[in-house]
Structure 1
Amino acid sequence: MSIQTSNMGQRESIVVNSSIGCKEWWCDKQPSLIAMEAIVIILCFIGCLGNLITVLTIIFSSLRYSVNCILVGSLSFAGFLYCSLILSLQAVIFHRHSTNISQEFCSAAGGIRYTLTGEIMVTLAAIALYRFLNVVYINTYRYMSETRQLVITLVICWLLPMVFTIPPTFRIWGAFHFQPSILSCTFDKSADQSNRVVMVTAGFIVPCLFIVYCYVRIGCKAYKSFKRMSRWGSTTPQARALRLSAMMLCIFVIFFIGTFPYFVVNVMDKEFKYPVHHIWTTMFAWLLYCCNPIVYTLMDTNFRNAYRRFLMGDCEKNPVRRSGSSMSRAVSV
């Protein structure tokens, strides 16, 4: 009996000492950690499922012959990888709520996270470029929609972010490390910050300005053609191009709304004095990463029909292009 009492006393002493040694804000907030873990798991499931269904729907339907849908498929695949890899890892970190995370793990996790975020941003810029060319410079759009040019565009979208994320991953230029206050792998403030500045500028600010420019030009073109729009009808190529541009603009706005608060908090609070703000802005961005399939469903008839056929098991095993052999003349959505 005395031995059991002694063992219980030792265990209680260990727990007390552990709680005393923990200096983070979340140490005595176990319910908050459980809630964050549950939210991340739900977002992981929804994001993986929605983006995976979008990719498979495009592959097994005639949408795969549309330039825009190919870019959307690349965007959704990046979203699927982000949700399946980053959110699942984050759920494990919230579950363990440990301050002892290996440097190698954080370097890899940080590299993957910011590479996929950059890929999403660059793909949104590529989509804006193609929408701009489709509405304003149709001949250039047809040239850029040929298979060779489209493949080059996709390769650039996936490889360009790695130029900025590989150096900090291997601690060559900048670094990633675990920040206990926000339970996340992020930029190491003790390392060279020039990589962080360049990454934020080239990976967020410049693409955002470029995307805004493209959609402003599309809006100006639509405004100038407003009087003729009444004579076009709802099924003309011009009307379809503008509706599709509106859908992709909505996707960019959602991404921007989700990412901008996170960007502002990280710029204004580099010392992580307000960790709760870092956490909720990050989760807000994760939530909006899951919204793209909903936008496709609500704003585009072809996507709705393709989703319905796929979910009912009525896939097009041998989808046929509806006109021409060039990607630029393929089925339009």
Structure 2
Amino acid sequence: MQVRQWKQTLSGNIFVVSLSVADLVVALYPYPLVLTAIYHENWIMGDLHCQASGFIMGISVIGSIFNITAIAINRYCYICHSLQYDRMFSLRNTCCYLGLTWAFTAIATVPNFFVGSLQYDPRIYSCTFAQTVSSYYTISVVVIHFLIPLLVVSYCYLRIWVRVIQVKHRVKPEQGAKLKPSDVRNFLTMFMVFVLFAVCWAPLNFIGLAVAINPVKVAPNIPQWVFVTSYFMAYFNSCLNAIIYGLLNQNFQKEYKTILLSLCVPRLLLVETSRYATEGLKSKPSAAVTNNNVAEINV
């Protein structure tokens, strides 16, 4: 039973780690170039860096939404189809799903090179997707990269909410469904990640859709501050996920406190590391990855 619970938690956490990687990608390469462009008030790094920066930023954005979709499907299967979950999300299958997620991300980003849509935009000091290059391509991007994943994730979380309510009020007691407190907390955490992603990215996508439908009339009439605000609002979303984890997950809260204390008093980091190592030797392997998984109760 403990091994089974550990595998279930691991398969779900793999996609969370993948989402974190997608969020971090932009900080390693595109953002430093944006800061350089802001400092010089122009792009001075050449076309190669412009194309590479735009491509990596696209990988990060599309990778985020595809990973959020994968997380929603994973949570839906875990809560609504628990009997088939172990077979569907074995460690091997989960790794395959993860590989497909990033393969689809790369495939969805590559067409930008053929359309020529990765261009420098002086309004935001970034090399990014230009919405006015091709109306059909812009509509395809909004539909495939935003609207369809939004519908899939909304369906998954709606079914999860219904399931949680059914278990709480024992609408279907014959199924004997049980949810741990940690299951509900983890679901709420990822639900908030999805909601904030949708809120942060919706303005930019709707602007792109409006521009694509009528580029001649709409594009010139969009105030610069609206576009700039929607753009930086979208990319600020990458910073929010870590805050959500810290606010809603007890394990993250504990680790954040340890990191902050270690920055103030480096000696505490060595003490904590030594204590965890000692406890790990004395205790048996735990079934759960997070300390939220304490007890199984009916919600």
Q: TM-score range by the shorter chain?
A: 0.7 to 0.9
Cross-structure match for 1:45: none
Which of the numbers 8, 30, 36 marks the counterpart of 1:86?
Answer: 30
Map residues 147-296 of structure 1 onto 2, 5 A cutoff: 147-169=91-113, 172-188=114-130, 191-228=133-170, 237-269=179-211, 271=219, 273-296=222-245
Matched, 1:322 2:286: yes
Further displaced range: 106-115 or 247-256: 106-115
What TM-score, normalized by structure 1, do the two folds share? 0.68
Cross-structure match for 1:5: none
Further displaced range: 270-279 or 140-149: 270-279
Q: 1:99 to 1:112 in 2, by over 3 A?
A: closer
Structure 2 counterpart of 1:248, one-letter code: M
Uncovered stretches (5+) of structure 2, i.e. residues with no partner: 1-5, 263-267, 293-299
Cross-structure match for 1:113: 57
Q: 1:180 to 1:70 in 2, by over 3 A?
A: same
Structure 2 counterpart of 1:74, one-letter code: S
Cross-structure match for 1:17: none
What TM-score, normalized by structure 2, do the two folds share? 0.75
Native 8 Å contact 2:12 2:71 kept in 1: yes
Structure 2 counterpart of 1:322, one-letter code: S
Equivalent position SS for 1:290 = helix
- Quote the Cα distance in structure 1 between the aligned partners of 2:50 and 2:242: 30
- Quote the Cα distance in structure 2 between the aligned partners of 1:321 and 1:66: 14
- Quote the Cα distance in structure 1 between the aligned partners of 2:109 and 2:21: 19
Native 8 Å contact 1:128 1:211 kept in 2: yes
Superposed displacement of residue 280, structure 1: 1.3
- Bigger Rg, which one: 1
Native 8 Å contact 1:174 1:195 kept in 2: no
Q: 1:130 to 1:143 in 2, by over 3 A?
A: same
Equivalent position SS for 1:186 = strand
Cross-structure match for 2:75: 131
Uncovered stretches (5+) of structure 1, i.e. residues with no partner: 1-61, 324-329
Q: 1:245 to 1:108 in 2, by over 3 A?
A: same
Q: CA RMSD in A?
A: 3.0
**Greater than 6 Å deviation, 4+ residue runs:** 62-65
Q: 1:99 to 1:306 in 2, by over 3 A?
A: closer
Superposed displacement of residue 284, structure 1: 1.7
